[in-house]
Amino acid sequence: MDKRRFLAAATLGAAALPSLAQSPEAKPGPRRAGNGPTLLTLTGAIGKSNRGALDPALDQLMVKQKLSFDKAFTFDHRALMQLPARTIEPTLEYDAKPHRLSGPLLADVLRAAGVVLQDRNRVLLRAIDGYAPGMTTAELQRFRPIIATHLDGQPLPLGGLGPLWAVHDADRIPELAAKPLGDRFALCPWGLYHIEVALAPA
């Protein structure tokens, strides 16, 4: 039971608990990692799944962006918050100021979906606007991006850089810090919602 539901149950009193326990709303969905809307869907070479195939009728954004999959692993905000969080403080190109960003490492998100990265893997990080940079396993290990959920302590908003932003600590990665500010974040999609784990041709 989450805190909000716990408080609601406490307000209603103990007598309300049996019916609350029976309401469909109170039951965790069998295929869901949490109770909130899915924020991130992983497809491709994943080792675990908690949802089935793309629904051509209802998965409208994914249909428009021509995704196709027969299974996926999804995270809601809470499932992402349950992974160990890392904080980085890169200077952002948008205002040339350092900002505190926190969230799980992309590597840990992949691991939670049962991905075992090999040298010839590529991950495609797809954003809501269709921007979809690919990263090789080597780049992933060099840049160690996080899936940021918070900026300066506030949840990242949809409409801004969120709800998720794959971003790295550019100031502390010499190969990136050597570039002009405007060239450091090309592999950092804001509005990230889908990750495809691909196997490069051998």
Ligand X SMILES: Nc1nc2c(c(=O)[nH]1)N[C@H]1C(S)=C(S)[C@@H](COP(=O)(O)O)O[C@H]1N2
Residues 125 and 85: their CA atoms lie apart, in Å, by 19
Q: Which of residues 93-132 bind ligand X (CB under 6 A)?
A: 93, 127, 129, 131
Q: Can you read off the two tokens belonging to residue 50?
A: 């908690």
Residues in binding contact with Mo ion, number by CB under 5 A = 1
Residue 131's binding partner among ligand X, Mo ion, none (Cβ under 5 to 8 angstroms by kind) is ligand X
SS3 176: helix
Q: Could you give phi then psi for residue 65, rounded to 5 degrees?
A: -90, 15
Residues 35 and 77: their CA atoms lie apart, in Å, by 9
Least distance in angstroms from the C-beta of 186 to Mo ion: 5
The yes or no reply on residue 186 touching ligand X (CB under 6 A) is yes
The yes or no reply on residue 186 touching Mo ion (CB under 5 A) is yes
Residues 139 and 197: their CA atoms lie apart, in Å, by 14
Q: How far apart are the first and last CA of the chain?
A: 47
User: What are the helix (H) ranges across the chain?
Assistant: 3-12, 17-22, 60-64, 77-81, 106-112, 137-143, 174-177
Q: Applying CB under 6 A, which of residues 185, 194, 195, 197 lies at the interface with ligand X?
A: 185
Residue 185's binding partner among ligand X, Mo ion, none (Cβ under 5 to 8 angstroms by kind) is ligand X
Residue 139's binding partner among Mo ion, ligand X, none (Cβ under 5 to 8 angstroms by kind) is none
Q: Applying CB under 6 A, which of residues 109, 110, 188, 195 lies at the interface with ligand X?
A: 188
Residues 42 and 74: their CA atoms lie apart, in Å, by 6
Shorter beta-carbon distance to Mo ion: residue 112 or 188: 188
The yes or no reply on residue 143 touching ligand X (CB under 6 A) is no
Q: Which of residues 74-93 bind ligand X (CB under 6 A)?
A: 93
Binding residues (CB under 5 A) for Mo ion: these are 186
Binding residues (CB under 6 A) for ligand X: these are 93, 127, 129, 131, 182, 185-186, 188-191
